[in-house]
């Protein structure tokens, strides 16, 4: 698989990475640990070198899973993890509150290093911007961790353009991770132009629209009770029914290219900028192979124009997050 460079610090990753969150939470029941380790190692065998996790995934257990799976090939891969959420009374990170106090960042990194079983974190993201802590203090704390040899590169997730600029002035940002796909394109407004100007890489998460762009989900799909999509406005049965036109169009294009809807969605991302590396997640070997196959699909200039024309005429129904979660993004 081709590789791409994120940021000006030479962080080299596979063009398509692997988001590991769903192996432990959010999309139904967690995967079998042995099967997930085998899946991650198969990804390495197929050329994937970029793996994404976070302390809050599980919580904690996803980092442990990723660390164990990648231990035999540690020197061949890039492991990204994240800090940024507070602790509940039991010491577990939770979505109820963000916390990017410098002391907390350093505490979180020590925990991540131990769970991952590594001496240095390749890419450390602030998971969400903390409005109560100046971003200069956050970047400064990560800069100290880089100087100590505990972190190699600094990243941010779902941050706004001005916050990215301020952070980058203190400690160069290698990559920004935000949701971006054919059916969620907000980063194009301000974030992507800012990243191009500053020489920062971009890592689209949910590049397949939380599974919807694969074509495997319709209005009749039943999610398990612990599936995060149950609370997402865009995934109500009514919204899925309305949005089916999007997938039907995507499927038609895919068939004309001898590909799948997911592969077209990923190939479109890869064609946007050479400094983008999407991280689709999966718990299934067949989906992993399908996603990796997207790297071999070339979309012509005409294809890209046709996609742009079609997408501009389709209005996606439903917000991507509940309002309380959306308020924490693009700060």
pLDDT-wise least confident of 87-96, 232-241, 269-278, 290-299 = 87-96
Query: Considering 27, 57, 180, 330, which one is annotated as catalytic?
Result: 57
Is residue 57 among the annotated active site residues?
yes
Q: What percentage of the chain has pLDDT greater than the value 70? A: 100
Query: Is the full-model pTM beyond 0.85?
Result: yes
pLDDT tier for residue 90 given thresholds of 50, 70 and 90 = confident
Strands 18-19 and 50-52: what pairing?
parallel
Determine which helix (DSSP H) or strand (DSSP E) holds 267, and give its type and residue range. Answer: helix 261-272
> Distance between terminal CA atoms of the chain?
35
**Is 88's pLDDT higher than 90?**
no
Burial of 117 from C-beta contacts in 10 A (0-12 / 13-18 / 19+): middle
Question: Once rounded to an integer, what is the mean pLDDT over residues 53-67?
Answer: 97
CA–CA distance from 299 to each of 4, 33, 303 (Å)? 18, 36, 6
- Tell me if the bond preceding 53 is cis, omega within 30° of 0: no
The first and second tokens of residue 77, run together, are 């891969």
| Phi, psi (deg, nearest 5) at residue 105 | -60, -45
Q: Which of 73, 56, 86, 172 lies closest to 117, judged by CA?
A: 73
3-state secondary structure of 78: strand
Enumerate domains of the chain plus CATH numbers.
Answer: 3-210+272-297 (3.20.20.100)
Q: How many CA atoms within 13 Å lie on the side-chain side of 84? A: 24
């Amino acid at each position: 698989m081709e590789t791409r460079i994120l940021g000006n610090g030479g962080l080299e990753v596979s063009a398509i990475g692997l988001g590991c969150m769903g192996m432990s939470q959010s999309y139904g029941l967690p995967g079998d640990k042995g099967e997930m380790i085998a899946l991650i190692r198969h990804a390495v065998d197929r050329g994937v070198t970029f793996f994404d996790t976070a302390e809050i995934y599980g919580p904690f257990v996803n980092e442990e899973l990723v660390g164990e799976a990648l231990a035999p090939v540690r020197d061949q891969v890039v492991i990204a993890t994240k800090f940024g959420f507070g602790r509940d009374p039991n010491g577990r990170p939770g979505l109820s509150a963000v916390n990017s106090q410098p002391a907390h960042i350093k505490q979180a990194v020590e925990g991540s290093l131990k769970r991952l079983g590594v001496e240095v974190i390749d890419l450390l993201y602030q998971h969400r911007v903390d409005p109560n802590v100046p971003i200069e203090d956050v970047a400064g704390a990560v800069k100290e961790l880089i100087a100590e040899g505990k972190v190699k590169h600094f990243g941010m997730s779902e941050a706004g353009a001005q916050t990215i600029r301020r952070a980058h002035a203190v400690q160069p940002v290698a990559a920004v991770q935000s949701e971006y796909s054919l059916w969620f394109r907000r980063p194009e407004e301000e974030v992507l132009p800012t990243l191009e100007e500053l020489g920062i890489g971009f890592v689209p998460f949910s590049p397949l629209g939380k599974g919807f762009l694969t074509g495997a989900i319709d209005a009749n799909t039943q999610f398990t009770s612990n599936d995060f999509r149950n609370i997402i406005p865009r995934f109500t049965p009514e919204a899925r029914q309305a949005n089916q036109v999007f997938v039907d169009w995507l499927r038609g294009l895919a068939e004309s290219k001898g590909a799948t809807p997911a592969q077209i969605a990923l190939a479109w991302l890869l064609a946007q900028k050479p400094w983008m590396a999407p991280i689709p997640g999966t718990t299934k070997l067949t989906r992993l192979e399908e996603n990796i196959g997207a790297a071999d699909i070339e979309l012509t200039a005409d294809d890209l124009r046709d996609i742009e024309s079609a997408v501009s005429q389709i209005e996606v129904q439903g917000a991507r997050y509940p309002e309380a979660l959306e308020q924490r993004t693009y700060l």
